[in-house]
Amino acid sequence: MKMYILIRESVPTGFALVSASHASLAAYLKFKDAPEIEQWLSGPFHKTICKVNDTEFETAKSYDDCVVITESALDGQEVAIAFKPREEWPKPFRFYSLYR
């Protein structure tokens, strides 16, 4: 089981770190009653954080079971998307760049 968190590449590093943290918590809270969360929490609970461009970000918002994070300090810009943990992921997730 793995949770993906996608961060817009245009987001400054400091905001990206905070956004990833908020995204993880927001996804947990939104999906806490889902059986996938229980399975994920039973370990190991992997998270993969990726940096995506604007087109990838907009496309990813169309996938099921996600929460979009905004940043008030960036005029309410959408900065991150977190997805409910799952075993299988849509093909594009294999090609997103890891956040480094």
14: CATH: 3.40.1490.10
User: Distance between alpha carbon 24 and the CA centroid of its chain, in Å?
Assistant: 7
Total residue length of the chain = 100
Per-position pLDDT tens, the chain of length 100: 999 999 999 999 999 999 999 999 999 999 999 999 999 999 888 999 999 999 999 999 999 999 999 999 999 999 999 999 999 999 999 999 999 8
Whole-model pTM: value is 0.95
| Identity of residue 24 | S
Main-chain phi, psi angles of 44, to 5 degrees? -70, 145
The answer to whether the bond into 90 is cis (omega within 30° of 0) is no
Counting the structural domains of the chain, the total is 1
- Domain span including residue 79: 2-98
| Identity of residue 63 | Y
Among the listed residues 43, 64, 45, 56, the one whose alpha carbon sits nearest the alpha carbon of residue 94: 56
